[in-house]
Amino acid sequence: MQTSRFLVTGGSQGIGAAIVALARTAGHEVVFTGRNEQLIEKVAQETGAHGLRADVSVGDDNARAVDACRERMGGIDVLINNAGYAYRAEIGNLDVDAMRRMFDTNVFGLVDITNRVVPLMKSQGLGDIVNIASTSGMKGAATGTPYGASKWAVRGISQCWQAELRPHGIRVTCVCPSEVQTNFGGNVGRNNPNKLYAEDIGETIMAALTMPRRALWPELAVFANNPWKED
């Protein structure tokens, strides 16, 4: 893979931070966004990437992020749409406003920032967009109406973009991780060596990006091979 210019949303922790670190180790330029100033500074210091405090659900923040990429890197070759969070509730006891707020990040924010990046990619005749969905968007589950719906939406959006952007040399890949050991949703203390780590998803994404440009991996799910094993 040639040296590329990455924009990673939600890059201050978890899967996003793993992607930032792997991309920098491979010699790529990286701008990443996040909402926690301390976490942003930590990842920036550890990796040498440029961190920017920005909320993907805010259009002006997305505009600032794209402008920062233009100013610091001269453009964007790879967009990693990673920012997202989970709200879960049983139907009959579901806060629709909370679901809307989550969609502002998981779906509408993803669409808004991509809408700003695609013209740059079209002008250069190439690019990669990686949308982080979830296996929750591949199967239904109790309490999964809000979060699962947002990730089903990401999968459908990815397929639409594939149809639109392949003629422009732009690849769109949708990645659906299973449970990953991060503090996603506030869960901590899950250091089970047999379950997935953020680095596993990052390595998978980097592998997909290194495929020859004539090849497209449209969607892939990533599961732990044997998460039930006691170690």
The per-residue pLDDT for 229 is: 74
Per-residue confidence in pLDDT tens, the chain, 231 aa:
799 999 999 999 999 999 999 999 999 999 999 999 999 999 999 999 999 999 999 999 999 999 999 999 999 999 999 999 999 999 999 999 999 999 999 999 999 999 999 999 999 999 999 999 999 999 999 999 999 999 999 999 999 999 999 999 999 999 999 988 866 555 554 567 788 999 999 999 999 999 999 999 999 999 999 888 765
Evaluate whether residue 37 is within a structural domain: yes
The per-residue pLDDT for 156 is: 98
The SS3 call for residue 97 is: helix
The per-residue pLDDT for 184 is: 55
Bridge partners for 51 per DSSP: 32
Evaluate whether residue 24 is within a structural domain: yes
Integer CA distances (angstroms), 219 to 39, 63, 156, in order: 30, 28, 11
Evaluate whether residue 40 is within a structural domain: yes
Evaluate whether residue 231 is within a structural domain: no
Phi/psi at 147 (5° precision): -65, -45
The per-residue pLDDT for 182 is: 65
The per-residue pLDDT for 228 is: 81
Whole-angstrom distance, CA of residue 196 vs CA of residue 177 = 9
Evaluate whether residue 200 is within a structural domain: yes
The per-residue pLDDT for 191 is: 65
Number of domains in the chain: 1
The per-residue pLDDT for 193 is: 78
Evaluate whether residue 228 is within a structural domain: no
The residues assigned a catalytic role are 147
**Which residues constitute the domain of residue 194?**
5-222
Evaluate whether residue 82 is within a structural domain: yes
**CA angle in degrees (0–180, nearest 5) for 126-128-129:** 135
Q: Looking at residue 125, what DSSP letter applies?
A: T
The per-residue pLDDT for 130 is: 98
The per-residue pLDDT for 183 is: 62
pTM score over 0.75: yes
What are the residues whose beta carbons fall under 8 Å from the beta carbon of 41, sequence distance 6 or more? 51
DSSP assignments along 154-185, one per residue = HHHHHHHHHHHHGGGTEEEEEEEE--BSS-GG
Evaluate whether residue 36 is within a structural domain: yes
Whole-angstrom distance, CA of residue 10 vs CA of residue 157 = 19
SS3 content of the chain, % helix, strand, coil (to 5): 45, 15, 35
Domain CATH number, residue 209: 3.40.50.720
